Amino acid sequence: MMSTLLEAFRMVLQTDVIIAIVLSSIYGLVVGSLPGLSATMATALLVPVTFYLSPIAAIATIISASAMAIFSGDIPGALLRIPGTPASAAYTDEAYAMTRKGQPELALGICVWFSALGGIAGTLSLMALAPPLAEMALQFSTFEYFWLAFLGLMCATMVARSSPVKAIASMLIGLLVSCVGIENPAGTPRFTFGLTDLLSGIEPIPALVGVFAVSEVMRAMLTPEPPKLPYRRFGSILAGQLALTKQYVAPQVRGNIVGIIIGVLPGAGADMAAWVSYSMSKRFSKEPEKFGTGHPEGLIEAGASNNASLASGWVPSLLFGIPGDTITAIAIGVLYMKGLNPGPTLFTERASSMYALYIIFIIANIIMIPLGILMIRIAAMVLRAPRAAVMPVIIVLCAVGAFATGNNLFAVLTVAAFGAIGYVMERFGYPFAAMVLGIVMGTMVEQNFVTSLIKSDGSILPFFNRPVAAVLAAMTIAALLWPAAAWIASLLSAKRVPKAGAA
C-alpha cells in the first residue's frame, strides 16, 4: 500500500507529467471559457496529442483540461450571461444576476472555490468506490457484463434532458454504427458496402470529434457572435468564500452527493448534474424566493455538483469500460491506446497507476484555484478573441487530429459525417450523448450478448438465474419500463386536469 503510493507519487512528479498538467490546465481554462467550445470538445481535440505522451501524462492532460474547462465555462456565464460550456447553463442566470448586483467577484469566487471543493469530493468518492466495486466485478461473467452494459445504455436514455423515446432511438443508432466492420464475434464484414475503409469499423474517436467539435462549429455558423466583454477591475476573488463554506454546508454536501451519483450513472455528466442540483437546491432551500436574484445557495450547490460528477464519472469507465459521461467516453479510447485497458484488474495489477490518477485529480483541483483566479482576471482579453479566428482553427485541428489517430485520411470523412449527424440530431431534439454511448459500448454489448447466448446454448435462463445478474436485469427492465410508466401517468393526469377545470 505505502510503496504503491510512493510509486504513484514518483509517476506523477515526472517533469513531463507536471508540464502536461500545467499546459493542459491553461488550455482547458481557455477553451472552456469560450462560448460554444465545450469541455468535451476540449478533451476530443486533445486526443491526438495524448498519443505522443506517456500513459500517465496522457491521462493527466485529459483530467486537468476537463476539470478546468467545466469551471471556466462559468466565467462568461457570470459576466455575459452566456454559458461557456453546457454544464454552466443551469445557473448562468443566477451568476449573472449577482454580477448585475455588483458582485461579480463573489459569483466567480463561488464558481472557482466550490468547483475545486466539488472536484476534490468527487475524487474522494472515486477513491472510496472503485476498489470495493473492483473486488466485486472480478467475479462477473459475460451475463453480468451484458446486463451492466445494457443498464448503462438505459441510464443514459433515462437521464437525457429530452424525450426518452428519442434518447433510446439515438442510442440504437449508436449501436448500429458500432455494427459496421468486421469487429464482431463472428468476424463477418457487416454494412461495409464494399468499402475497405469501413472494414475495420467506424473509429469512435473521429466520430466523437465530429459530434462534439464539428457540430459546434456548424451551430456557430447560424448563431450571432457573442458580445464583447467589457474590461473591468476585480476585487479580491476569494473574499468571503470561507464564510459561505461554513454557512452553506448542507447545499454543498447535497450538491457533491448528487454530482457523484449522476457522474457514476453512465452517460450522464456535468451538465445533467448542474441542472438537477440547481433545482434540488431551490426545492430544499429555506429561501427559495431569492433564487434567480443573485443568491449564492444554488450557485454553490450546482457549481460543486458539476465538478464532483467529473471525477466520479471515471468509476464505471475505469471498472467496466462504460463511460460515466461524454468526457470519459473519449478517455476510455485513450486508456485502451495506452495499455491501461479498463477493467477490475486495473485496480489490482496497475494499482500505482490508479493512485497516480487520484493524485492528478487532487492536484488539478488544487491548482484550479490560482489558475482560475488568473483566468478570471484576464478573461476580458481571452474572450475578445473573435469567433471568426477561433472556429476555423478548430476545423483544421479536427482534420489533422482525426488523421493523426491512425494516419488514415478516411477518418477526416468520418469527422465530417458525424459533425453533420450530430448537428441534425441536436436540431431535431435527439440527444447525441446517447448515440455516443452506443458507439462506444456497442462492441462490448454485442460481445457479451453473443458469448452469453453461445455459452447458454441459446437459452435465456442464465441471464436471470445468477444472483447479481438477476438484480442487474431487474434494474434494467425497470429502467426500460420507466419512460412508459411516466408517459401513462402523464396521460392520466392530463385527462384529469381538464375535468377538474370543467368542474
Partner 1 sequence: MLADRLTGLFMVVLGALAAWGGSRLPPVPGQQIGPEVFPMVVGIGLVLCGALIALGVGHQFEEEAEADLAKITSEFEADQGLSHQDMPLWRQAFVLVPPLLLVFYYLAVDRIGFLPTAAVIVFCASLALGGRVRLALPMAIAAPLFVNMIFVKLLRVPLPSGFLPLPWIGLP
171-210 binders of partner 1 (CB under 8 A): 172-173, 175-176, 179, 184-188, 190-191
Q: Work out whether 22 is an interface residue with partner 1 (CB under 8 A).
A: no
| Contact between 211 and partner 1 per CB under 8 A | no
Burial category of 273 from C-beta neighbours within 10 Å (exposed 0-12, middle 13-18, buried 19 and up)? buried
Among 5, 22, 380, 395, interactor with partner 1 by CB under 8 A: 395
- One-character DSSP codes across 59-103: HHHHHHHHHHHHHHTHHHHHHHS--SSGGGGGGHHHHHHHHHTT-
When asked if residue 385 is in the footprint of partner 1 (CB under 8 A), the reply is no
DSSP 162: S
Angle between helices 104-137 and 249-264 (to 10 degrees): 50
- Judged by CB under 8 A, the chain residues 257 through 296 that form the site for partner 1 are 275
Q: What are 141's three cell numbers?
A: 461473467
Whole-number Å distance between alpha carbons of 148 and 141: 11
Q: Examine residue 426 and tell whether it contacts partner 1 (CB under 8 A).
A: no
Alpha-carbon gap, residue 448 to 185, rounded angstroms = 9
Residue among 340 and 415 whose Cβ is closer to partner 1? 415
Footprint on residues 436-455 left by partner 1 (CB under 8 A): 446, 449-450, 453-454
CB of 249 or CB of 409, closer to partner 1: 409
d(CA 330, CA 328): 5
Q: List the one residue from 1, 2, 243, 388 that touches partner 1 (CB under 8 A).
A: 388
Q: Is 503 exposed, middle or buried (0-12, 13-18, 19+ CB in 10 A)?
A: exposed
Nearest to 327 by CA among 258, 267, 399, 276: 267
Q: Which stretch binds partner 1 (CB under 8 A): 20-28, 46-54, 253-261, 316-324?
A: 46-54
Minimum distance, C-beta of residue 248 to partner 1, in the bound complex (Å) = 23
Q: Is 168 in the site for partner 1 (CB under 8 A)?
A: yes
**Binding to partner 1 by residue 399, rule CB under 8 A?**
yes
Binding part of the chain for partner 1, among 113-121, 297-305, 357-365, 404-412 by CB under 8 A, reads: 404-412
Of the candidate residues 6, 136, 138, 165, the single one contacting partner 1 (CB under 8 A): 165
Site for partner 1 in 78-97 (CB under 8 A): 81-83, 89, 92-93
> Per rule CB under 8 A, is residue 408 in the interface with partner 1?
no
Q: Which is nearer to partner 1, 497 or 503 (CB)?
A: 497
Residue with Cβ nearer partner 1 (64 or 178): 178
- Rama region for 343: left / alpha / beta (φ>0; ψ in -120 to 50; rest): left
Nearer to partner 1, 104 or 401 (CB): 401
Decide if residue 481 touches partner 1 (CB under 8 A).
no
Q: Which residues pair with 181 in a beta bridge?
A: 190
Q: How far is CA 187 from CA 321, 444, 451, in A?
A: 22, 15, 13
400: contact with partner 1 by CB under 8 A:
yes
Q: Is 381 in the site for partner 1 (CB under 8 A)?
A: no
User: For residue 190, what are the β-bridge partners?
Assistant: 181
Q: Provide the grid cell at 395.
A: 476545423
Q: Which of 430, 448, 463, 473 binds partner 1 (CB under 8 A)?
A: 430
Task: Select 7 or 93, whichever has its Cβ closest to partner 1.
Answer: 93
222 interacts with partner 1 by CB under 8 A: yes
How many angstroms separate the Cα of 78 from the Cα of each of 67, 75, 108, 113, 309?
18, 5, 7, 14, 21
Q: Which of residues 100-159 bind partner 1 (CB under 8 A)?
A: none
Contact call for residues 166 and 465 (beta carbons, < 8 A): no
- Out of 417, 468, 475, 477, the residue judged to bind partner 1 by CB under 8 A: 417
